[in-house]
Structure 1
Amino acid sequence: MSTKRVLGWPVFRQLRSGDVFGRGETTQSRKSKNLSARTTDADRVVQSVCPYCAVGCGQRVFVKDEKVVQIEGDPDSPISRGRLCPKGAASEQLVNSSRRVTDVLYRAPKSTEWQKLDLDQAIDMIADRVLEARANHWEDTDEQGRPLNRTLGFAGLGGATLDNEENYLIKKLFTAAGAVQLENQARI
Protein backbone atom coordinates (compact mmCIF):
# COMPACT_ATOMS: atom_id res chain seq x y z
CA MET A 1 0.00 0.00 0.00
CA SER A 2 1.40 3.39 -0.93
CA THR A 3 2.34 6.02 1.64
CA LYS A 4 0.21 8.59 -0.17
CA ARG A 5 -2.85 6.38 0.21
CA VAL A 6 -2.22 5.77 3.91
CA LEU A 7 -1.70 9.49 4.56
CA GLY A 8 -5.06 10.11 2.87
CA TRP A 9 -6.90 8.10 5.50
CA PRO A 10 -9.32 10.18 7.58
CA VAL A 11 -7.45 9.58 10.86
CA PHE A 12 -4.17 10.95 9.40
CA ARG A 13 -5.95 13.92 7.78
CA GLN A 14 -7.63 14.56 11.10
CA LEU A 15 -4.35 14.56 13.06
CA ARG A 16 -2.55 16.72 10.48
CA SER A 17 -5.24 19.39 10.51
CA GLY A 18 -5.58 19.53 14.30
CA ASP A 19 -9.18 18.26 14.20
CA VAL A 20 -8.72 16.04 17.27
CA PHE A 21 -12.41 15.26 17.76
CA GLY A 22 -13.11 14.46 14.11
CA ARG A 23 -15.84 17.02 13.58
CA GLY A 24 -14.40 18.88 10.62
CA GLU A 25 -14.14 18.31 6.90
CA THR A 26 -11.14 15.99 7.30
CA THR A 27 -13.38 13.10 8.31
CA GLN A 28 -15.67 13.45 5.31
CA SER A 29 -15.18 11.31 2.26
CA ARG A 30 -15.87 12.56 -1.24
CA LYS A 31 -19.05 10.54 -1.23
CA SER A 32 -20.32 11.97 2.05
CA LYS A 33 -19.58 15.55 0.92
CA ASN A 34 -21.89 15.03 -2.06
CA LEU A 35 -24.77 13.53 -0.06
CA SER A 36 -27.95 15.49 0.55
CA ALA A 37 -30.93 14.83 2.77
CA ARG A 38 -34.04 13.20 1.31
CA THR A 39 -35.98 16.20 2.56
CA THR A 40 -34.18 18.80 0.43
CA ASP A 41 -35.75 17.59 -2.82
CA ALA A 42 -39.28 17.17 -1.42
CA ASP A 43 -42.09 18.75 -3.43
CA ARG A 44 -44.08 19.55 -0.31
CA VAL A 45 -44.26 18.98 3.44
CA VAL A 46 -47.52 17.84 5.02
CA GLN A 47 -48.25 18.10 8.72
CA SER A 48 -49.67 14.92 10.22
CA VAL A 49 -50.12 12.99 13.45
CA CYS A 50 -48.25 9.78 14.26
CA PRO A 51 -50.58 6.77 13.84
CA TYR A 52 -49.13 4.56 16.55
CA CYS A 53 -50.47 5.61 19.95
CA ALA A 54 -52.88 8.01 21.58
CA VAL A 55 -50.20 10.59 22.42
CA GLY A 56 -50.66 12.37 19.08
CA CYS A 57 -47.09 13.37 18.26
CA GLY A 58 -46.81 15.78 15.35
CA GLN A 59 -45.10 14.65 12.18
CA ARG A 60 -43.80 16.33 9.07
CA VAL A 61 -44.33 14.14 6.03
CA PHE A 62 -42.03 14.95 3.10
CA VAL A 63 -43.56 14.10 -0.28
CA LYS A 64 -41.80 13.90 -3.64
CA ASP A 65 -43.60 12.85 -6.82
CA GLU A 66 -46.66 11.92 -4.71
CA LYS A 67 -44.61 9.41 -2.68
CA VAL A 68 -43.64 9.74 0.98
CA VAL A 69 -39.84 10.01 1.14
CA GLN A 70 -39.29 10.91 4.80
CA ILE A 71 -41.23 11.41 8.03
CA GLU A 72 -39.77 13.47 10.87
CA GLY A 73 -40.99 14.96 14.11
CA ASP A 74 -42.74 18.32 13.85
CA PRO A 75 -40.93 20.94 15.95
CA ASP A 76 -44.12 23.09 15.92
CA SER A 77 -46.10 20.37 17.73
CA PRO A 78 -46.81 21.33 21.35
CA ILE A 79 -47.08 17.64 22.21
CA SER A 80 -43.83 16.19 20.91
CA ARG A 81 -41.80 19.34 20.08
CA GLY A 82 -40.10 17.64 17.12
CA ARG A 83 -39.39 14.30 18.76
CA LEU A 84 -40.67 10.86 17.76
CA CYS A 85 -40.34 7.49 19.43
CA PRO A 86 -38.67 4.68 17.43
CA LYS A 87 -42.01 3.51 16.03
CA GLY A 88 -43.03 7.01 15.00
CA ALA A 89 -39.64 7.65 13.44
CA ALA A 90 -40.01 4.47 11.39
CA SER A 91 -43.57 5.19 10.22
CA GLU A 92 -42.32 5.96 6.69
CA GLN A 93 -41.78 2.20 6.40
CA LEU A 94 -45.44 1.66 7.28
CA VAL A 95 -46.44 3.69 4.24
CA ASN A 96 -43.86 2.42 1.75
CA SER A 97 -43.44 -1.22 2.76
CA SER A 98 -43.68 -3.67 -0.11
CA ARG A 99 -45.34 -6.08 2.36
CA ARG A 100 -48.15 -3.67 3.25
CA VAL A 101 -51.57 -5.26 2.84
CA THR A 102 -53.85 -2.98 0.86
CA ASP A 103 -56.67 -5.42 0.08
CA VAL A 104 -59.59 -6.46 2.26
CA LEU A 105 -58.95 -10.07 3.27
CA TYR A 106 -61.64 -12.44 4.56
CA ARG A 107 -61.34 -15.92 5.94
CA ALA A 108 -64.63 -17.78 6.04
CA PRO A 109 -65.47 -19.90 9.12
CA LYS A 110 -63.48 -23.16 9.18
CA SER A 111 -61.52 -22.10 6.11
CA THR A 112 -57.74 -22.17 5.98
CA GLU A 113 -57.47 -19.71 3.07
CA TRP A 114 -57.88 -15.96 2.87
CA GLN A 115 -59.84 -14.47 0.01
CA LYS A 116 -59.88 -10.91 -1.30
CA LEU A 117 -63.12 -8.99 -1.00
CA ASP A 118 -64.36 -5.78 -2.50
CA LEU A 119 -64.47 -3.02 0.15
CA ASP A 120 -68.21 -2.39 -0.33
CA GLN A 121 -68.94 -6.11 0.07
CA ALA A 122 -66.87 -6.27 3.28
CA ILE A 123 -68.63 -3.22 4.76
CA ASP A 124 -72.03 -4.72 3.92
CA MET A 125 -71.04 -8.02 5.60
CA ILE A 126 -69.94 -6.19 8.75
CA ALA A 127 -73.11 -4.07 8.85
CA ASP A 128 -75.33 -7.13 8.41
CA ARG A 129 -73.58 -8.96 11.25
CA VAL A 130 -73.75 -5.97 13.60
CA LEU A 131 -77.47 -5.50 12.93
CA GLU A 132 -78.15 -9.23 13.37
CA ALA A 133 -76.20 -9.42 16.66
CA ARG A 134 -77.95 -6.29 17.92
CA ALA A 135 -81.39 -7.64 17.07
CA ASN A 136 -80.71 -11.11 18.54
CA HIS A 137 -79.30 -9.84 21.83
CA TRP A 138 -81.22 -6.61 22.45
CA GLU A 139 -82.38 -6.00 26.02
CA ASP A 140 -85.20 -3.47 26.50
CA THR A 141 -85.61 -3.92 30.26
CA ASP A 142 -84.19 -5.91 33.15
CA GLU A 143 -86.10 -8.35 35.44
CA GLN A 144 -87.59 -5.47 37.46
CA GLY A 145 -88.80 -3.62 34.36
CA ARG A 146 -86.13 -0.93 34.45
CA PRO A 147 -85.10 0.29 30.98
CA LEU A 148 -81.77 -0.99 29.66
CA ASN A 149 -81.86 -0.29 25.90
CA ARG A 150 -78.63 -2.13 25.27
CA THR A 151 -77.11 -5.10 23.52
CA LEU A 152 -74.49 -7.53 24.73
CA GLY A 153 -74.29 -9.06 21.25
CA PHE A 154 -71.14 -7.22 20.28
CA ALA A 155 -68.40 -5.21 21.88
CA GLY A 156 -65.93 -2.57 20.81
CA LEU A 157 -62.21 -2.94 21.24
CA GLY A 158 -60.20 0.03 20.00
CA GLY A 159 -56.49 0.31 19.47
CA ALA A 160 -53.88 2.89 20.25
CA THR A 161 -53.07 3.42 16.58
CA LEU A 162 -56.14 5.64 16.29
CA ASP A 163 -56.02 9.25 17.33
CA ASN A 164 -58.30 10.70 20.01
CA GLU A 165 -60.85 12.00 17.52
CA GLU A 166 -61.24 8.61 15.83
CA ASN A 167 -61.57 6.85 19.19
CA TYR A 168 -64.19 9.40 20.27
CA LEU A 169 -66.26 8.82 17.12
CA ILE A 170 -66.01 5.03 17.46
CA LYS A 171 -67.15 5.26 21.10
CA LYS A 172 -70.12 7.42 20.05
CA LEU A 173 -71.01 4.99 17.23
CA PHE A 174 -70.95 1.91 19.47
CA THR A 175 -72.87 3.69 22.23
CA ALA A 176 -75.53 4.82 19.73
CA ALA A 177 -75.82 1.21 18.53
CA GLY A 178 -76.50 0.12 22.12
CA ALA A 179 -73.19 -1.55 22.94
CA VAL A 180 -72.00 -1.20 26.53
CA GLN A 181 -68.88 -3.32 26.36
CA LEU A 182 -66.33 -0.83 25.07
CA GLU A 183 -62.61 -0.86 25.77
CA ASN A 184 -59.58 0.74 24.28
CA GLN A 185 -55.91 -0.09 24.52
CA ALA A 186 -55.00 3.59 24.76
CA ARG A 187 -57.07 4.02 27.92
CA ILE A 188 -55.17 1.41 29.89
Structure 2
Amino acid sequence: MKFTRRGFLKLSGLSVAVVASGLGFDLEATAAHGHALKLAGCTKIPSICHFCSGGCGLLLHIKDGKLVHLDGNPDNPINEGTLCPKAASLAQVAYSPERPKNPLYRAPGSDKFVDISWEEAYDRIAKKIKEVRDKTWTSTEEITNAKTGAKETVTVNRAEGICMIGSAEVDNEESYLLSKLARLIGTPFHEHQARI
Protein backbone atom coordinates (compact mmCIF):
# COMPACT_ATOMS: atom_id res chain seq x y z
CA MET A 1 0.00 0.00 0.00
CA LYS A 2 1.40 3.38 -1.03
CA PHE A 3 0.55 6.69 0.59
CA THR A 4 1.27 10.16 -0.58
CA ARG A 5 2.32 12.68 1.96
CA ARG A 6 -1.08 14.36 1.74
CA GLY A 7 -2.86 11.00 2.15
CA PHE A 8 -0.76 10.15 5.21
CA LEU A 9 -1.63 13.47 6.86
CA LYS A 10 -5.35 12.99 6.11
CA LEU A 11 -5.32 9.48 7.58
CA SER A 12 -3.37 10.65 10.64
CA GLY A 13 -5.81 13.50 11.26
CA LEU A 14 -8.77 11.19 10.90
CA SER A 15 -7.20 8.66 13.31
CA VAL A 16 -6.58 11.37 15.92
CA ALA A 17 -10.18 12.60 15.59
CA VAL A 18 -11.59 9.09 16.07
CA VAL A 19 -9.41 8.36 19.11
CA ALA A 20 -10.17 11.77 20.64
CA SER A 21 -13.91 11.14 20.26
CA GLY A 22 -13.57 8.11 22.56
CA LEU A 23 -14.72 5.71 19.86
CA GLY A 24 -18.30 6.13 21.01
CA PHE A 25 -17.58 5.09 24.61
CA ASP A 26 -18.34 7.29 27.60
CA LEU A 27 -14.91 7.21 29.24
CA GLU A 28 -15.96 9.41 32.17
CA ALA A 29 -18.65 6.96 33.22
CA THR A 30 -16.18 4.08 32.96
CA ALA A 31 -13.61 5.92 35.11
CA ALA A 32 -16.26 6.82 37.71
CA HIS A 33 -17.49 3.22 37.86
CA GLY A 34 -13.92 1.95 38.39
CA HIS A 35 -13.41 4.45 41.22
CA ALA A 36 -16.71 3.39 42.81
CA LEU A 37 -15.67 -0.28 42.66
CA LYS A 38 -12.37 0.56 44.38
CA LEU A 39 -14.19 2.29 47.25
CA ALA A 40 -17.05 -0.21 47.59
CA GLY A 41 -17.33 -1.42 51.19
CA CYS A 42 -14.98 1.26 52.55
CA THR A 43 -15.63 3.31 55.66
CA LYS A 44 -15.16 7.02 54.93
CA ILE A 45 -13.50 8.86 57.82
CA PRO A 46 -12.87 12.63 57.85
CA SER A 47 -9.43 13.58 59.10
CA ILE A 48 -6.87 16.39 59.11
CA CYS A 49 -3.52 16.42 57.29
CA HIS A 50 -0.58 16.46 59.71
CA PHE A 51 2.21 17.91 57.60
CA CYS A 52 2.22 21.71 57.77
CA SER A 53 -0.41 22.46 60.43
CA GLY A 54 -2.58 24.29 57.90
CA GLY A 55 -5.57 22.15 58.87
CA CYS A 56 -6.43 20.77 55.42
CA GLY A 57 -9.23 18.22 55.50
CA LEU A 58 -8.90 14.63 54.27
CA LEU A 59 -11.38 11.87 53.57
CA LEU A 60 -9.82 8.52 54.42
CA HIS A 61 -11.35 5.40 52.86
CA ILE A 62 -10.64 2.43 55.13
CA LYS A 63 -11.30 -1.21 54.25
CA ASP A 64 -10.36 -4.11 56.55
CA GLY A 65 -8.37 -1.77 58.79
CA LYS A 66 -6.19 -0.49 55.94
CA LEU A 67 -6.14 2.85 54.16
CA VAL A 68 -7.30 2.15 50.59
CA HIS A 69 -7.66 5.69 49.24
CA LEU A 70 -7.61 9.28 50.41
CA ASP A 71 -9.10 12.45 48.97
CA GLY A 72 -9.28 16.07 49.94
CA ASN A 73 -12.42 16.90 51.92
CA PRO A 74 -14.56 19.26 49.80
CA ASP A 75 -16.43 20.39 52.94
CA ASN A 76 -13.23 21.63 54.63
CA PRO A 77 -13.04 25.46 54.40
CA ILE A 78 -9.24 25.48 54.26
CA ASN A 79 -8.44 23.26 51.27
CA GLU A 80 -11.95 22.80 49.79
CA GLY A 81 -11.09 19.32 48.54
CA THR A 82 -7.62 20.01 47.13
CA LEU A 83 -4.43 18.38 48.40
CA CYS A 84 -0.78 19.34 48.11
CA PRO A 85 1.72 16.65 47.03
CA LYS A 86 2.70 15.91 50.65
CA ALA A 87 -0.89 15.28 51.73
CA ALA A 88 -1.59 13.20 48.62
CA SER A 89 1.37 10.95 49.53
CA LEU A 90 0.12 10.12 53.03
CA ALA A 91 -0.86 6.58 52.02
CA GLN A 92 2.72 5.85 50.95
CA VAL A 93 4.02 7.31 54.21
CA ALA A 94 1.70 5.11 56.28
CA TYR A 95 2.72 1.87 54.57
CA SER A 96 6.33 2.57 53.65
CA PRO A 97 8.73 -0.26 54.51
CA GLU A 98 11.27 2.46 55.42
CA ARG A 99 9.10 3.78 58.25
CA PRO A 100 10.63 3.01 61.68
CA LYS A 101 8.39 0.95 63.95
CA ASN A 102 10.54 1.11 67.11
CA PRO A 103 12.56 3.85 68.82
CA LEU A 104 16.08 4.25 67.45
CA TYR A 105 19.13 5.36 69.44
CA ARG A 106 22.46 6.60 68.14
CA ALA A 107 25.20 6.70 70.76
CA PRO A 108 27.50 9.76 70.82
CA GLY A 109 30.21 9.31 68.20
CA SER A 110 28.46 6.37 66.57
CA ASP A 111 27.57 6.29 62.89
CA LYS A 112 24.55 3.98 63.15
CA PHE A 113 21.21 3.76 64.90
CA VAL A 114 20.19 0.75 66.96
CA ASP A 115 16.69 -0.40 67.95
CA ILE A 116 15.78 0.07 71.60
CA SER A 117 12.61 -0.82 73.49
CA TRP A 118 9.90 1.73 74.25
CA GLU A 119 10.62 1.36 77.98
CA GLU A 120 14.29 2.18 77.44
CA ALA A 121 13.36 5.18 75.28
CA TYR A 122 10.97 6.53 77.96
CA ASP A 123 13.61 6.01 80.62
CA ARG A 124 16.32 7.82 78.61
CA ILE A 125 14.00 10.75 77.85
CA ALA A 126 12.92 11.12 81.50
CA LYS A 127 16.52 11.02 82.75
CA LYS A 128 17.63 13.59 80.15
CA ILE A 129 14.77 15.96 81.01
CA LYS A 130 15.65 15.71 84.72
CA GLU A 131 19.36 16.27 84.01
CA VAL A 132 18.79 19.34 81.81
CA ARG A 133 16.13 20.75 84.17
CA ASP A 134 18.44 20.46 87.17
CA LYS A 135 21.37 21.95 85.27
CA THR A 136 19.47 24.95 83.86
CA TRP A 137 17.06 25.69 86.73
CA THR A 138 16.80 29.34 87.74
CA SER A 139 15.06 30.09 91.04
CA THR A 140 15.48 33.85 91.26
CA GLU A 141 16.48 36.72 89.03
CA GLU A 142 17.71 40.21 89.80
CA ILE A 143 15.73 42.96 88.09
CA THR A 144 15.69 46.74 88.20
CA ASN A 145 12.49 48.31 89.50
CA ALA A 146 11.17 50.62 86.77
CA LYS A 147 9.78 53.17 89.24
CA THR A 148 12.53 53.37 91.85
CA GLY A 149 15.53 52.16 89.86
CA ALA A 150 16.48 49.86 92.75
CA LYS A 151 17.69 46.30 92.20
CA GLU A 152 15.28 43.61 93.39
CA THR A 153 15.43 39.83 93.54
CA VAL A 154 12.28 38.10 92.28
CA THR A 155 11.28 34.45 92.20
CA VAL A 156 11.09 33.04 88.64
CA ASN A 157 11.39 29.22 89.00
CA ARG A 158 12.08 28.21 85.41
CA ALA A 159 14.22 25.78 83.41
CA GLU A 160 15.67 27.71 80.49
CA GLY A 161 17.42 24.69 78.95
CA ILE A 162 14.19 23.02 77.79
CA CYS A 163 11.80 24.11 75.06
CA MET A 164 8.40 22.57 74.25
CA ILE A 165 7.59 22.49 70.54
CA GLY A 166 4.09 21.59 69.41
CA SER A 167 3.30 19.76 66.21
CA ALA A 168 0.69 19.64 63.48
CA GLU A 169 0.29 15.96 64.41
CA VAL A 170 -1.46 16.74 67.70
CA ASP A 171 -5.03 17.86 68.32
CA ASN A 172 -6.30 20.50 70.75
CA GLU A 173 -6.45 18.14 73.72
CA GLU A 174 -2.89 16.93 73.18
CA SER A 175 -1.72 20.54 72.76
CA TYR A 176 -3.35 21.36 76.09
CA LEU A 177 -1.53 18.45 77.77
CA LEU A 178 1.81 19.49 76.20
CA SER A 179 1.27 23.01 77.52
CA LYS A 180 0.54 21.64 81.01
CA LEU A 181 3.67 19.44 80.84
CA ALA A 182 5.80 22.44 79.83
CA ARG A 183 4.50 24.41 82.81
CA LEU A 184 5.00 21.43 85.10
CA ILE A 185 8.68 21.05 84.19
CA GLY A 186 9.14 24.81 84.36
CA THR A 187 10.05 25.83 80.82
CA PRO A 188 8.92 29.28 79.70
CA PHE A 189 9.55 28.43 76.04
CA HIS A 190 6.38 27.18 74.33
CA GLU A 191 6.42 27.18 70.55
CA HIS A 192 4.53 25.56 67.71
CA GLN A 193 5.56 24.22 64.36
CA ALA A 194 3.27 26.64 62.53
CA ARG A 195 5.12 29.70 63.91
CA ILE A 196 8.67 28.45 63.37
TM-score, with structure 1 as normaliser: 0.76
* Larger proportion of helix: 2
Supply the distance in 2 between the matched residues of 1:10 and 1:121 (Cα, whole angstroms): 68
Q: Which residue of structure 1 lines up, in the alignment, with residue 25 of structure 2?
A: 25
Q: Kindly indicate whether residue 44 of structure 2 is the aligned counterpart of residue 36 of structure 1.
A: no
Structure with greater Cα Rg: 2
Supply the distance in 2 between the matched residues of 1:171 and 1:103 (Cα, whole angstroms): 26
TM-aligned CA distance change 1:136 to 1:89, over 3 Å: same
* Matched residue count: 173
Q: Which residue of structure 1 lines up, in the alignment, with residue 156 of structure 2?
A: 148
Q: Which residue of structure 1 lines up, in the alignment, with residue 62 of structure 2?
A: 63
Question: SS of the residue aligned with 1:142?
Answer: strand
After superposition, the CA RMSD in angstroms is 3.1
TM-aligned CA distance change 1:186 to 1:136, over 3 Å: same
**Deviation sequence 1:60-92 (CA, Å, 0-9, x none):** 111122211111111222332222222112211
Task: Give the unaligned 5+ runs of structure 1.
Answer: none
TM-score, with structure 2 as normaliser: 0.73
Question: SS of the residue aligned with 2:165?
Answer: strand
Q: Which residue of structure 1 lines up, in the alignment, with residue 169 of structure 2?
A: 162
Q: Which residue of structure 2 lines up, in the alignment, with residue 123 of structure 1?
A: 122
Identical-pair percentage: 34
Supply the distance in 2 between the matched residues of 1:135 and 1:147 (Cα, whole angstroms): 17
TM-aligned CA distance change 1:99 to 1:41, over 3 Å: farther
Task: Give the unaligned 5+ runs of structure 2.
Answer: 2-10, 143-151
**Deviation sequence 1:24-55 (CA, Å, 0-9, x none):** 627x5xxx769712742343111111011222
Query: Does structure 2 conserve the Cα–Cα contact (< 8 Å) formed by 1:45 and 1:62?
Result: yes
